[in-house]
Amino acid sequence: MSKAEQQHKARLALMGCMACLRIHGPHDPGPVELHHLRAGRGWGKGDYTTLIPLCHEHHRGNTGVHGLGSKGFPRHYGFTEADLLAMTKQLMETCA
């Protein structure tokens, strides 16, 4: 793992769950898991720039990206994984 990747992941972990942020607004971030956005083609193995921080529920829970699936998730929430990735990237830039 490169140093840039390590730093990127450490910062993602501090940002908290993007789905919770979108739904509840800013709040104390809990522990997160890193979800790899699989939509779209061409991301190589180890491409850490498409990781999204999510809490356990929004990641692997019944109302999470894996529980609902990539079609069910936007139907349930009204935003997509790609929207969450865009938020992640924006936050990365604003707190750089």
Does 21 sit near Zn ion (CB under 5 A)? no
Q: Which of 12, 32, 37, 55 binds Zn ion (CB under 5 A)?
A: 55
Q: Which of 17, 32, 52, 85 binds Zn ion (CB under 5 A)?
A: 17
CA 38 from chain centre, in angstroms, equals 11
Rounded CA separation 6/39 (Å): 23
Q: Which of 58, 73, 84, 88 binds Zn ion (CB under 5 A)?
A: 58
Rounded CA separation 47/5 (Å): 9
- For tokens 């979108």, name the residue: 22
- Interacting span for Zn ion (CB under 5 A) from 3-11, 17-25, 69-77, 84-92: 17-25
